[in-house]
Amino acid sequence: MSSSHMNPPDTSPPMAGNPSDAPVFERGLWGRGWFMLLLCLVFIAFDWELVPFSIFPLVFIFPVMLVAWNRPLWLSASCAVVLSSTRILHQWVFSPNPVPVGDIADTLICLFVLVLVAAMTTLLARQSRQLRQRVRALEGMLPICSFCKSIRNDREEWVRLEEYIAGHTEATFSHGLCPECARKQYGDFYRPGMK
């Protein structure tokens, strides 16, 4: 069975009660919305101190990545828009001169880079969660029937062992008959050495 028949793992951003195998920036204050907002404001204030230096605002990469890891892409892209436009806003509010065209171009480049970083971080976070979920599913204890060897899935349904494994991995099965079962089931017809 191909992996397209597998149940898709939950890839939604984490909220409260993250498992202990989650990275540190998904747990505690790092995953809380108010903390991310406060962090963005701190980085904006820090960047406003750097306004005289005409450099790419590297300080914005960290909050954008943090929001992208813990929240949906649209929210991290919105954060990138707000953060990248703060220099223009600063100049518009505190400078009597009009905003130069070069600064607007710099803002658009910054916006493009930050949105790209947000998209890549969101994709990486989704893949990380999927991998952790698959590892947990494969490492965990499986309730298995001692007679028919069916496995109880997360929906409390009993499914055949082959069906469960094929649905949670990329493994496929071919069936055969071991010598012991061949003797038990086909004792009259079985000869040792038959395959």
Per domain, the residue ranges of the chain are: 3-139, 141-195
Give the Cβ contact number of residue 132 at 10 Å: 15
Q: Where are the alpha helices (DSSP H) in the chain?
A: 33-49, 61-70, 73-94, 101-139, 161-168, 179-185
Report how far residue 97's alpha carbon sits from residue 152's, in angstroms, rounded to the nearest whole number. Answer: 70
Q: Tens-of-pLDDT digits for all 195 residues of the chain?
A: 444 444 444 444 444 445 566 666 666 666 677 777 777 777 777 666 665 555 667 778 888 888 888 888 888 888 888 888 877 777 777 777 777 777 778 878 888 988 999 999 999 989 988 888 887 777 777 788 888 888 888 788 899 888 888 887 788 888 787 778 877 878 777 766 655
> Is the C-alpha dihedral spanning 120, 124, 125, 127 positive or negative?
positive
What are residue 98's phi and psi, to 5 degrees?
Answer: -70, 155
Give the Cβ contact number of residue 67 at 10 Å: 27
